[in-house]
């Protein structure tokens, strides 16, 4: 009898920075000849399909949606594809009703689901679904290995009464010492465990972190060449991973063609900003984007803009969620007249931008996807982290890998001054030989990791499925 192809169901957390890499994972799984379903909220489907096209995803992915649990119309409002504060407020909560609906989807699936691969932020109900239906659950972790090591270590901290953590308290993650990154200040790991964070948010994070220890495996969007210690700590350190949840580093999760020498694969309609980039000198433009959600306040945007102007560097700046209104008067008009800068008001074709020869640096909020996208194309970064584990990511970029320039905050009011911005822009565009050469090395390492990623994914899935089969057989013997 011909053996049935395993059917895997990928369920991301409902935010762009989680849905996009999960989509690339689904595509890679389909390329490995698994049957693959990708489940998102119904109101996200259009967006997801657009990204699937832009990232040339495998056409065999089956898209399915959760329809019952919806944010309100106002919460759904997002500007030009970017997520609003209201939408993220909705997403950041326990949604067990999604679990009920997911169970229905799994039960109705044909061929039957062999395994679910769900985001770490869904553990509180996704693990129950897996247990009830007797199928394994693999965690998809879209952030760095360092954050995953901490995520797993949270259970240990909870048992030692070390939670919540005071602001600026130092956190030492076992096994992560010599990379020069440990100890980290509390907000550099995951700021959600801080005592200043509302209890409901802390509980959400901690509950998911604790339940993730019950998973059958964990896949992380990183690669050992840039995070060796974290990868070893997660796979081997009993203080972090006492249940020995099988771990694999599968990054960078990016489209195949992103690693071709001069082409990224996005298939957006011809957009204005790319035509503008075509006219700029090589490595002269700073691309500025804070991802799908983060936004700086008026004072900070003003300092940034004035620092940019003083540096006389060219720029392409993604301005969304009303950020444009916060710019100093006449700033954009002057840049447009002088042909030195351009604003992108919609969702930017980021992979194409980072692949463009005119882009010499990326000012980023250090979201992990943006970080992986930048380092995979050898583009040096200017780090401007906001929340989550972004401050820790900035340390990885600047201190550990040396592929970016940091921005010091002014002690008085915690702002980054225009002078700091001006210096950073000059440092990356005019004096960036060292960061550029290190970025070129990391790019090669990313490419090497990308090549072995499919085999690693396949090995983990097979291991998890095999161990589930043995468990089921064991259960049957016990029963009879
Ligand atoms: N992105 C994009 N265009 C935009 C803004 C974001 O393509 O205008 C993509 C970006 O390439 C990345 C993702 O959205 O893949 C953002 O993820 P990241 O982890 O960098 O940040 P987050 O949005 O989760 O804070």
Q: Note the pLDDT tens digit of each residue in 225-245.
A: 999 999 999 999 999 999 999
- Average pLDDT score over residue span 142-146: 96
| Residue 188: pLDDT band with limits 50, 70, 90 | confident
> What's the pLDDT at 89?
76
- Ligand 1 pocket, 367 CB below 6 A? yes
Domains and CATH numbers, the chain: 7-255+450-479 (3.40.50.2000), 257-441 (3.40.50.2000)
Name the average pLDDT for the chain. 91
Closest atom of ligand 1 to 364 CA is: 20
| 7: confidence class by pLDDT, cuts 50, 70, 90 | very high
Q: How far apart are CA 399 and CA 181, in angstroms?
A: 8
Instruction: Verify whether ligand 1 is closer than 6 Å to residue 35 (CB atom).
Output: no
Q: Is the CB of 254 under 6 A from ligand 1?
A: no
Contact 220, 246 (CB under 8 A): no
259 C-beta closer than 6 A to ligand 1: no
Q: Residue 368 C-alpha to ligand 1 middle, in angstroms?
A: 9
Residue 346 CA: nearest ligand 1 atom is 8
For ligand 1, whether the C-beta of 350 sits within 6 Å is yes
Ordered alpha helix ranges (H), 67-198: 73-76, 85-91, 96-108, 123-133, 145-159, 186-189
Instruction: Please give the residue that has the higher pLDDT: either 97 or 362.
Output: 362
Q: Among 178-192, 285-299, 411-425, which is the least confidently predicted range?
A: 178-192
**Contacts for 440 with CB less than 8 Å, ≥ 6 apart:** 378
Question: Is the pLDDT at 180 greater than 70, yes or no?
Answer: no
User: 200-204 long-range contacts, Cβ below 8 Å, gap at least 24?
Assistant: 200/93, 201/92, 202/163, 202/164, 204/92, 204/93, 204/94, 204/121, 204/124
90: phi then psi, degrees, rounded to nearest 5: -70, -45
If you measure from the C-alpha of residue 291 to the centroid of ligand 1, how many angstroms do you get, rounded to a whole number? 4
What separation in Å is there between the alpha carbon of 17 and the centre of ligand 1?
Answer: 6
Residue-wise pLDDT tens digits, 432-449: 899 999 999 999 999 999
Residue 24 Cβ contacting ligand 1 at under 6 Å: no
pLDDT reported for residue 299 = 95
CA 205-207-122 angle, 5° bins: 70
Read off the pLDDT of each residue in 452-474 and give the average, rounded to a whole number: 93
**Burial (Cβ within 10 Å: 0-12, 13-18, ≥19) of residue 98:** buried
Please check the confidence at residue 173 and state whether its pLDDT lies above 60. Answer: yes
Distance CA 250, CA 29 (A): 12
Q: Which residue has the higher pLDDT, 287 or 96?
A: 287
Is the minimum distance from the CB of 16 to ligand 1 under 6 angstroms? yes
Write out pLDDT tens, residues 206-217: 999 999 999 999
Region 298-326 average pLDDT: 94
Residue 471 has a pLDDT of: 83
Q: Which atom of ligand 1 is closest in space to residue 292's alpha carbon?
A: 23
The number of the ligand 1 atom at minimal distance from the alpha carbon of 21 is 15
- Three-class SS of residue 232? helix
List CB contacts of 448: < 8 A, sequence separation 6 or more.
225
> What interhelical angle do 368-376 and 433-479 show, nearest 10?
120
pLDDT of residue 1: 53
Q: How confident is the model at residue 82 (pLDDT cuts 50, 70, 90)?
A: confident
Q: Return the CA Rg of the chain.
A: 22
Integer angstrom CA distances of residue 121 from 209, 317, 412: 8, 30, 36
Pick the residue whose CA is nearest to atom 15 on ligand 1. Answer: 369
| CA 370 to centroid of ligand 1, rounded, Å | 6
Instruction: Write the pLDDT tens digit of every residue in 365-402.
Output: 999 999 999 999 999 999 999 988 999 999 999 999 99
The number of beta carbons lying within 10 Å of the beta carbon of residue 207 is 14
What is the CA(288)–ligand 1 centre distance, in A? 12
Q: 10 Å Cβ neighbour count for 470?
A: 10
Helix pair angle (123-133, 199-211), 10° resolution: 30
Q: What is the pLDDT, as a whole number, of residue 204?
A: 93
The Cα 57–Cα 471 span in angstroms is: 34
């Amino acid at each position: 009898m011909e053996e049935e192809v395993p059917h895997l169901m990928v369920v991301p957390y409902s935010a762009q920075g989680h849905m996009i890499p999960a989509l690339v994972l689904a595509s890679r799984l389909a390329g490995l000849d698994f049957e693959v379903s990708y489940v998102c909220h119904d109101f996200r489907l259009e967006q997801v399909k657009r990204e699937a096209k832009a990232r040339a995803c495998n056409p065999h992915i089956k898209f399915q949606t959760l329809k019952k649990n919806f944010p309100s119309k106002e919460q759904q409002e997002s500007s030009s594809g970017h997520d609003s504060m209201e939408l993220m407020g909705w997403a950041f909560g326990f949604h067990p009703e999604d679990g009920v609906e997911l169970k229905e989807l799994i039960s109705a699936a044909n061929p039957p689901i062999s395994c679910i691969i769900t985001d770490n932020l869904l553990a509180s109900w996704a693990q129950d679904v897996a247990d009830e239906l007797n199928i394994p659950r693999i965690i998809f972790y879209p952030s760095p290995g360092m954050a995953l090591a901490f995520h797993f270590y949270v259970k240990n901290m909870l048992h030692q009464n070390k939670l919540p953590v005071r602001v600026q308290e130092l956190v030492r993650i076992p096994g992560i010492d010599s990379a020069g990154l440990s100890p980290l200040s509390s907000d550099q790991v995951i700021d959600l465990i801080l005592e200043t964070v509302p209890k409901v948010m802390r509980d959400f994070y901690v509950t998911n972190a604790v339940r993730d220890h019950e998973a059958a495996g964990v896949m992380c969007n990183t690669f050992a060449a840039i995070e060796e210690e974290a990868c070893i700590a997660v796979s081997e350190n009993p203080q972090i991973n006492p249940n020995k949840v099988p771990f694999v580093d599968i990054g960078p999760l990016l489209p195949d063609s992103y690693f071709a020498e001069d082409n990224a694969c996005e298939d957006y309609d011809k957009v204005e900003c790319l035509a503008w980039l075509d006219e700029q000198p090589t490595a002269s433009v700073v691309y500025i984007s804070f991802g799908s959600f983060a936004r700086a306040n008026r004072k900070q945007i003003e300092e940034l803009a004035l620092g940019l102007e003083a540096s006389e560097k060219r720029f392409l700046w993604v301005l969304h969620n009303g950020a444009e209104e916060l710019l100093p008067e006449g700033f954009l008009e002057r840049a447009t007249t002088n042909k030195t800068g351009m604003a992108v008001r919609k969702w930017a074709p980021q992979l194409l931008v980072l692949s463009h020869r005119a882009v010499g640096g990326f000012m980023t909020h250090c979201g992990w996807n943006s970080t992986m996208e930048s380092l995979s194309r050898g583009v040096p970064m200017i780090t401007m982290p906001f929340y989550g584990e972004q401050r820790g990511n900035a340390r990885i970029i600047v201190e550990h890998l040396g592929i970016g320039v940091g921005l010091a905050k002014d002690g008085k009011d915690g702002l980054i001054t225009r002078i700091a911005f001006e210096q950073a822009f000059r440092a990356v565009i005019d004096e960036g030989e060292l960061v550029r050469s290190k970025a070129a090395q990391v790019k090669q390492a990313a490419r090497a990791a990308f090549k072995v990623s499919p085999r690693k994914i396949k090995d983990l899935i097979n291991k998890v499925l095999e161990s589930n089969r043995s468990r089921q057989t064991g259960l049957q013997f016990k029963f009879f």
